[in-house]
């Protein structure tokens, strides 16, 4: 990227600093729990219009969508704008929705996960529009997605499948502490169900206890977790029995129904087929007739749109040599003076873009992942300014790299 152009982008970002900090403060002050994002979406859309985006609206699901430029390469910046709830037992040093700024830090729910990226993306869009009037070799979609905390991936799945916006490249705004993240472990949920025959507890030999059918399977699953092998760079997968439920005619009867719920994290080489097979193998080993199934995640958005998706969120990772990753590393070096790559431990909307659709995806944003969903969420405001420089410069680096290939 041309030096003079880069300097102009960075200088304009510096000049917008106070506006940027006011914007992220406002986003923190608008409470936006999953499924209750209407107010923040309206605010974001009106801001996008004020910033003279070419298009700004909310889609059929309720995601905020802005568009700038008309170039052939479609780049999508996504920040989910819903947050998890604040519970009464959480110990906040600053009120979670006041947007308190102290010594260059902003406190509050969403100040890590992941409102800063929304403010950063919008500000980068404003700067690009200001300098270029939308005349650049790419089309930039800036998305404030909803319901991510309840249904990771679905908001972008909706945009691609139902709104027919199919990006060529995606940048996620989940916290990376200003590193270039290039993958995540996948996850899925599985149920194993056993049925038996109920009988009076006093005549238990006449029944078949469904709980006893699953007991050895639960023990095998515990052993399986220890046997899972790590894979670079994502580490090892995991398997956890997260719930056991059972039914019986009364508490004095043999249980005729038992079900376990499993949380499975998947590394490279693990997918829906391998996970189901390893569980079926355990069941077979114990000569059990228990059944394996994958549940649906379902819900309704703030706009009243219903959705359901299978609880399967595929693993994805991109090589350091991928042009998208290379472009991001270069943009990082230029905008923050260093570049490091990494991966997320948790799940992101990348399960849809990269996992389901194979669209190259990375992430870059301020904030430490491990502070997400905690009362320790805090944003170093200068890190957000650095991120804005990255967001503004990155598309040009990508286009340059694509031209070389």
| Sites of contact with Zn ion (CB under 5 A) | 113-114, 174
**Is 86 or 211 the residue whose CB approaches Zn ion more closely?**
86
- Strands, E assignment, 185-301: 186-195, 238-247, 257-266, 291-293, 296-300
**Is 174 or 383 the residue whose CB approaches Zn ion more closely?**
174
Maximum distance among all Cα pairs of the chain, rounded to whole angstroms: 86
Is 82 considered catalytic here?
Answer: yes
**Is 150 or 397 the residue whose CB approaches Zn ion more closely?**
150
CB of 218: closest distance to Zn ion in angstroms?
31
**Is 13 or 178 the residue whose CB approaches Zn ion more closely?**
178
Element containing residue 279 per DSSP (H, E): helix 272-285
Listing DSSP states for 41-81 in one string gives HHHHHHHHHHTT-SEEEE-SSS-EEEEE---SEEEEEEEE-
**Is 80 or 126 the residue whose CB approaches Zn ion more closely?**
80
Is 148 considered catalytic here?
Answer: yes
Rounded CA-CA distance 390/395 in Å is 9
CB of 199: closest distance to Zn ion in angstroms?
49
**Is 113 or 326 the residue whose CB approaches Zn ion more closely?**
113
User: Which of the following is catalytic: 59, 78, 82, 397?
Assistant: 82
Rounded CA-CA distance 400/405 in Å is 9
CB of 151: closest distance to Zn ion in angstroms?
12
Q: Minimal CB distance to Zn ion: which residue?
A: 113
Nearest CA to 396 among 127, 116, 173? 127
List the end-to-end C-alpha distance of the chain, in Å, as a whole number.
Answer: 16
CB of 347: closest distance to Zn ion in angstroms?
9
CB of 80: closest distance to Zn ion in angstroms?
6
- Strands, E assignment, 69-110: 73-80, 101-102, 105-107
The HSE-up count of residue 215 (CA atoms within 13 Å, CB side) is 6
Q: Phi first, then psi: what are they for 6, rounded to 5°?
A: -60, -45
Work out the angle at residue 227's Cα, subtended by the Cα atoms of residues 222 and 228, and round it to the nearest 5 degrees: 105
Say how far residue 58 (Cα) sits from the centre of its chain: 19
Element containing residue 306 per DSSP (H, E): strand 306-310
The two structure tokens encoding residue 284: 């077979």
Rounded CA-CA distance 314/394 in Å is 26
User: Which of the following is catalytic: 16, 148, 150, 174?
Assistant: 148
CB of 210: closest distance to Zn ion in angstroms?
38
Active site amino acids: 82, 148
């Amino acid at each position: 990227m041309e030096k003079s152009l880069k300097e102009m982008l960075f200088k304009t970002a510096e000049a917008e600093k106070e506006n940027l900090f006011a914007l992220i403060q406002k986003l923190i002050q608008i409470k936006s729990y999953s499924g209750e994002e209407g107010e923040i979406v309206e605010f974001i859309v009106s801001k996008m219009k004020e910033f003279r985006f070419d298009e700004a609206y909310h889609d059929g699901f309720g995601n905020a969508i802005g568009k700038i430029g008309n170039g052939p390469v479609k780049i999508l910046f996504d920040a989910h704008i819903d947050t998890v709830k604040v519970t009464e037992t959480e110990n906040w040093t600053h009120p979670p929705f006041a947007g308190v700024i102290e010594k260059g830090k902003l406190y509050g729910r969403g100040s890590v996960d992941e409102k800063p990226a929304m403010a950063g993306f919008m500000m980068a869009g404003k700067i690009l529009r200001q300098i270029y009037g939308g005349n650049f070799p790419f089309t930039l979609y800036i998305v404030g997605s909803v319901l991510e905390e309840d249904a990771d991936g679905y908001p972008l799945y909706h945009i691609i499948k139902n709104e027919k916006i199919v990006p060529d490249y995606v940048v996620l705004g989940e916290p990376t502490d200003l590193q270039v993240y290039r993958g995540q472990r996948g996850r899925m949920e599985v149920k194993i169900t056993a049925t038996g025959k109920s009988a009076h507890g006093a005549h238990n030999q006449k029944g078949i206890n469904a709980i006893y059918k699953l007991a050895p399977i639960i023990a095998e699953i515990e052993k399986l977790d220890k046997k899972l092998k790590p894979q670079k760079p994502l580490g090892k997968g995991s398997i956890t029995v997260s719930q056991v439920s059972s039914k019986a005619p009364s508490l004095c009867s043999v249980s005729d129904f038992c079900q376990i719920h499993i949380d499975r994290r998947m590394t490279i080489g693990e997918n829906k087929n391998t996970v189901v097979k390893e569980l079926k193998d355990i069941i077979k080993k114990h000569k059990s007739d228990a059944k394996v199934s994958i549940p649906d995640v379902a819900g309704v958005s703030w706009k009243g749109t219903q959705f359901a998706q299978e609880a399967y969120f595929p693993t994805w990772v991109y090589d350091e040599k991928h042009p998208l990753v290379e472009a991001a590393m270069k943009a990082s070096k230029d905008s923050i003076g260093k570049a490091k790559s990494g991966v997320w431990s948790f799940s992101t909307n990348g399960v849809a873009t990269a996992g389901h659709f194979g669209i190259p995806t990375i992430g870059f944003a301020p904030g430490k992942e491990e502070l997400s969903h905690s009362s320790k969420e805090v944003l170093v405001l200068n890190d957000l300014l650095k991120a804005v420089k990255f967001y503004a410069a990155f598309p040009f680096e990508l286009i340059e790299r694509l031209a070389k290939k």
